Amino acid sequence: MKISNNKVRLISFLDSPEALTAKKEAETGQIKDIGSLTDFDDLIDKLDQN
């Protein structure tokens, strides 16, 4: 939600430039691995501890 000058407007992350770029990259196979499933599980465990 974006609020400015007493106007409220809903903003969808899926319509953001970043999300649209990520969607295009995924659809055209321009993706790269940034870690393993084990790395992700370790991150989730750390977040759960906090």
What's the pLDDT tens digit per position in 12-46?
888 899 999 999 999 999 988 889 999 999 999 99
What's the pLDDT score for residue 4? 61
Output 1 or 43, whichever has higher pLDDT: 43
What's the pLDDT score for residue 10? 72
What's the pLDDT score for residue 1? 56
Are the C-beta atoms of 1 and 10 separated by less than 8 Å?
A: yes
Domain with 25, as residue range(s), is 2-49
Which residues make Cβ contacts (< 8 Å) with residue 1, sequence separation at least 6?
Answer: 8, 9, 10, 11
Our count of domains for the chain comes to: 1
